[in-house]
Amino acid sequence: MMTPDQISALFTRDDGTFFCARWNRPVAPVIFGLSEETLDIFRSAIRAGFAHAGHPVTDTDPEMGSNLMLFFMRDWTELEGIPDLDRLTGMAGLPSRLIGSPADQYRLFRFDPDGGIRACLIFVRMSGALADSHPARLAEALVMRSALTFARDVTPSSELAALIRAAYDPVLPVTANDHSHALRLAARMAPR
């Protein structure tokens, strides 16, 4: 099992601040840029991943329509064709920041007033290292990375799945800014 220090490191940003947040509203996913057969894999992975965490997935968010948005493209220049991208992301010039970047993924969270995840936008460039990715493995990784506000990329594992399940324990706060939260998560991951 993961130690509190390992858990803390997953949520500690480069400036040393700790931030762990989970969804506090049902997840309403929408996926752009995939073939129909691959869409089914991703839809199933989203439902299974959040079911494992004990968190609901729905068809529509009453305020936003969709709140988990995944965009797949061959090249970052395709971002320029997304209508109202600046308004959607709250960031001006995202395409120019990513064009020429070696990144193959970009994840952006928006938050509710209580600190819970309100929306997650994931942009994936399906060239380079990801060109030969198995759809089910990529789907699992993206679902895990959207479930909590990890400060770095994480690799799917049974320990990570247990951590996500622990973070969705209803007795824990929706958001935490103190490293001691890692102790509570570790305690809930321990075998009983």
Tell me if 142 sits within 8 A of 70, measured CB to CB.
yes
Give yes or no: residues 35 and 104 share one domain: yes
Q: What is the CATH number of the domain that holds 138?
A: 3.30.379
Q: Quick check: helix, strand or coil at residue 30?
A: strand
- Asked if residue 131 lies in contact with residue 125, where contact means CB atoms within 8 angstroms, the answer is no
Does the predicted TM-score (pTM) go above 0.85? Answer: yes
Both 74 and 141 in one domain: the answer is yes
| pLDDT in single tens digits along all 192 residues of the chain | 899 999 999 999 999 999 999 999 999 999 999 988 899 999 999 999 999 999 999 999 999 899 999 999 999 999 998 888 999 898 888 999 999 888 899 999 999 999 999 999 999 999 877 777 889 999 999 999 999 999 998 999 999 999 999 999 999 999 999 999 999 999 999 775
Q: Which domain holds residue 179?
A: 1-22+153-192
Which ranges of the chain would DSSP assign to H, the alpha helix? Answer: 4-10, 36-53, 85-89, 94-98, 135-147, 158-167, 181-189
Residue with tokens 């920041």: 97
Q: Are residues 71 and 163 in the same domain?
A: no
Rounded-to-integer distance, Cα 42 and Cα 143, Å: 9
| C-alpha R_g of the chain | 16
